[in-house]
Chains A and B, each alone.
Chain A
Amino acid sequence: MSEKDLQKTENIAATEKIRNVKTFVPRVDIYETKDSLFLIADMPGVDEQSVDVELEKNILTIAGRVDPAEAKDKSIVYSEYEIGDYERIFTLSDEIDRDKIYATVKNGVLRLELPKAEKAKPKKITIKAA
């Protein structure tokens, strides 16, 4: 594994919730293809019902709610990670076609496809002999 900080970072700037849970920053990968931007976020513990993706003007907010672990009649004897919600906010540029944003969740990973608007795609200009 790469040598990154392995602890979850707490999201101090997140909007405060009424529920008494901590909010963490989900790690994301963002990559760009010819036609779209892909945003992949690690949010273990969320499924399609508990994730929220909102786009308001140019602000994209991804948020996930996680059930705090049930008691299971057992007591915790060793804890290395904390369980909590996730939230992260991004500012998008105008080049995203916001009507065609597509989101899926699988195994605790949120995958967003943000297609580029027509005018932002690189256009090949053909040259004709004059």
Chain B
Amino acid sequence: MFTPNLWRFRTIPDVVPEIANLRQQMNRIFNNIAQPTQQDFPAVNIWEDRDSAVVTAELPGIDTDKINIEVIGDMLTISGNREIEVLKEGETYLRQERGHGSFKRKIQLSFHIDAKKVEAHYEKGILSVTLPCLKEEMPKKIKIN
């Protein structure tokens, strides 16, 4: 019953960070229950490292000139329009599941973006935008004298 882990906590103060961590994780789980709404297209994944972020989105079947990417401050805006086949006289849709129409999504990053160095690739229907952090904002290391 008393696993080795419990012996690490000798006093109550030792437990507090673990409880705070647990609460943070529970919040994360419950936040994800919200269903994605119309405002949430396209779904994005965000990857980060020390000095840049990569935002990827699945946007199959769009011409690159129909996708707009804008960057200001710490906000990335992805918008565009996806059209589907327009049928001529005598043609009928038997099934229509693919989404279409215009979309716009604003994503706020945790740092200000260096707009001059942003790169975007669209390959196989996946848009990936690389956003480097503004150099002035990178944390400076402080030496201790």
Interface residues of A (CB under 8 A from B): 1-4, 6-7, 27-34, 37-38, 40, 42-47, 69, 72-81, 106-109
A107's contact among B93, B95, B101, B122, by CB below 8 Å, is which?
A: B122
How many residues belonging to B are interface residues under a CB distance threshold of 8 Å?
44
> Would A44 and B45 be within 8 Å (CB), given that A6-B40, A31-B85, A80-B40 are in contact?
no
Q: Is B45 touching A81 in the complex (CB atoms < 8 A)?
A: yes
B92's contact among A31, A42, A73, by CB below 8 Å, is which?
A: A31
> Would A79 and B45 be within 8 Å (CB), given that A1-B99, A44-B125 are in contact?
yes
Interface residues of B (CB under 8 A from A): 35-38, 40-41, 43-49, 52-54, 56, 58-62, 84-85, 87-88, 90-103, 122, 124-126
Which residues of B lie under 8 Å from residue A47 when comparing CB positions? 124
Q: Is A6 touching B60 in the complex (CB atoms < 8 A)?
A: no
Leading 6 A-B pairs by shortest Cβ distance: A108-B125, A44-B125, A108-B60, A109-B61, A81-B43, A80-B43
Main secondary structure of the interface of A (DSSP, over half): loop
Which residues of B lie under 8 Å from residue A28 when comparing CB positions? 95, 97-98
Which residues of B lie under 8 Å from residue A33 when comparing CB positions? 87-88, 90-91
